[in-house]
Chains A and B, each alone.
Chain A
Amino acid sequence: MREVHTDSIISAVESLFIDANINLSQGVFDALDRAVEKEESPVGKEVIRELINNANIAKAEHMPICQDTGLAVTFVEIGQEVHVVGEPLSEAIAEGVRRAYKNGYLRKSCCDPFSRKNTGDNTPPIIHTHIVPGDRIKIVALPKGGGSENYGEVRMLVPSQGKEGVKSFVLDMVTKGGPNPCPPIIVGVGIGGNFETSALLSKEALMVPIGQRNPDPATASFEMDILDAINKTGIGPQGYGGTVTALDVHIKMLPCHIASLPAAVNIQCHAHRIKEIVI
């Protein structure tokens, strides 16, 4: 049994959310560099150059990449040999988020669904926890903006719709989004599991590094097929027209019920903000 005090979790969460909002990871910079080369539209190229320039300025000046610093999506993998001591884990994570959004001059974008009254401190965070073997705690911060999130969906497809059904579903959401999710986007697709698992899989799919393929060759090929179809829509950077609408597509799959084909699409904008730490 290894003890981890929630004080270290609070400070880790605070650092991660500020870091994620300010410092775009090298993998995304590299993907944007490749996209400038690949993009055929002059306006599209110019837009991607602005995005790269923007991310460099954010990093140099310690400013948020985008003013929508998102809801605080937090994935926590807790080793089953860990004993968390201090306050309740969910409260510690919330406190870390609270501090990040205050001390990092991040925007508070969390409100009551109907009154729309802002909660004032960007809490409650959205926490997904998995218990895993081992004695470490891994925390992943994925601040998620509203613009891209609004073009996500879960559909309970009919099994006979198969791969084509999933592909149409993805293209539907990308087309519906158009300029609004701030292309170039990254698409997470969750297939199988249950209604709620497919949604979670689609968000976890966004954590796969750009350029990394699903370990199953047939699924990897399907990822590339969907990516190609998205880039043929012509939507392009910021929806101004172009050949790079998506930087990548990632699929995560699980077995599902014999009567179902649950599928979920979660869209991420170009400001793909993600940082992790292992405690």
Chain B
Amino acid sequence: MEIKKIQTPLDDSTVEKLKAGEKVFLNGFIFTARDAAHKKFFEALDKGEELPFDMRNQIIYYCGPSPAPPGRVIGSCGPTTSGRMDAYAPRLISLGLKGMIGKGKRSAAVKDALRQYKAVYFGATGGAGALLSKSVVSSEIVAYEDLGPEAVVKLGVKDLPLFVINDMYGNDLYEAGIQQYRR
């Protein structure tokens, strides 16, 4: 299987080349954020405050890692189910967020935002927390440290293995896959 190497920050020309079903190795920096952090992002936006990091061309990883053993950058860090963040994603995409990594289906509103603003949704393999942690080379808490595993952490990643689930053209790997293999 051919695997594309891509780099953050993600620009439009990279997103335009990604199609649902492709495997990629991601290099650069991503930001973890899940339920509680997204709630805080929106509280900040509602108050007219700045977000803890500039989301333009960045990627959010829906992940709450297990504790890092001594001497390790991170513990097991597989994805959590993305659907719970569907309510928040479209607005963040409109503000320039270029990618999200998680697992599970996204809503129509999220998929529409991917098309409208040229962004992409990647799948990290659920339950492959040890494998994924091998691609994390650095970890820096950026915001909301009090949230523990739900803090926003900037992760340096090298060849993080991901599948494109939803591209900017409306293709959906979950839908296409099940259609192809249903007997």
Q: Which of A43, A53, A65 has the most CB of B within 10 A?
A: A43
Asked if A179 meets B103 with Cβ closer than 8 Å, knowing A64-B76, A242-B177, the reply is yes
State whether B127 touches A182 (Cβ < 8 A).
yes
With an 8 A cutoff between CB atoms, is B99 at the interface? no
B-contacting 9-mer, from A71-79, A163-171, A230-238: A230-238
With an 8 A cutoff between CB atoms, is B65 at the interface? yes
State whether A66 touches B125 (Cβ < 8 A).
no
**Count of chain B residues near A, Cβ 8 A:** 45
State whether A180 touches B81 (Cβ < 8 A).
yes
With an 8 A cutoff between CB atoms, is A57 at the interface? yes
CB of B22 to closest CB in A, whole Å: 9
Q: Which residues of A contact B127 (CB under 8 A)?
A: 51, 54, 65-66, 68, 145, 182, 269-271
With an 8 A cutoff between CB atoms, is B137 at the interface? no
Asked if A240 meets B183 with Cβ closer than 8 Å, knowing A63-B69, A147-B126, A234-B178, the reply is no
Q: Which residues of A contact B75 (CB under 8 A)?
A: 63-64, 67, 105, 107
**Count of chain A residues near B, Cβ 8 A:** 46
Asked if A234 meets B78 with Cβ closer than 8 Å, knowing A61-B130, A69-B66, A178-B105, the reply is no
With an 8 A cutoff between CB atoms, is B17 at the interface? no
State whether A57 touches B181 (Cβ < 8 A).
no
Using CB atoms, name the residue of chain B closest to A53: B131
Name the one of A41, A43, A44, A238 contacting B103, with C-beta atoms under 8 angstroms: A238
With an 8 A cutoff between CB atoms, is A262 at the interface? no
State whether A234 touches B182 (Cβ < 8 A).
yes
Name the one of B104, B163, B182 contacting A232, with C-beta atoms under 8 angstroms: B182
With an 8 A cutoff between CB atoms, is B114 at the interface? no
State whether B123 touches A240 (Cβ < 8 A).
yes
With an 8 A cutoff between CB atoms, is B57 at the interface? no
Q: Mark B51-83, 1 if CB is under 8 A from A, else 0.
A: 000000000000111111100100111100101
CB of A231 to closest CB in B, whole Å: 8
Q: Which residues of A contact B95 (CB under 8 A)?
A: none
Q: Which residues between 76 and 102 of chain B lie within 8 Å of chain A, taking CB atoms?
A: 76-78, 81, 83
Using CB atoms, name the residue of chain A closest to B130: A58
CB of A225 to closest CB in B, whole Å: 14
In the complex, A243→B133 CA distance in Å?
A: 28
Q: Which residues of A contact B81 (CB under 8 A)?
A: 147, 180
Q: Which residues of A contact B165 (CB under 8 A)?
A: 240
- 5 other A-B residue contacts (CB within 8 Å) besides A105-B69, A236-B178: A51-B127, A65-B130, A238-B126, A243-B181, A271-B127
Q: Which residues of A contact B (CB under 8 A)?
A: 40-44, 46-47, 50-51, 53-55, 57-58, 61-69, 105-107, 145, 147, 178-180, 182, 232-236, 238-243, 269-271
Closest 4 CB pairs of A and B: A241-B177, A234-B182, A234-B181, A54-B131
Q: 20 A-B contacts, Cβ less than 8 Å apart?
A: A43-B177, A46-B23, A54-B130, A58-B130, A64-B129, A65-B129, A67-B65, A107-B65, A145-B127, A178-B104, A178-B174, A179-B103, A180-B103, A234-B177, A235-B177, A239-B174, A240-B174, A241-B174, A241-B176, A241-B180
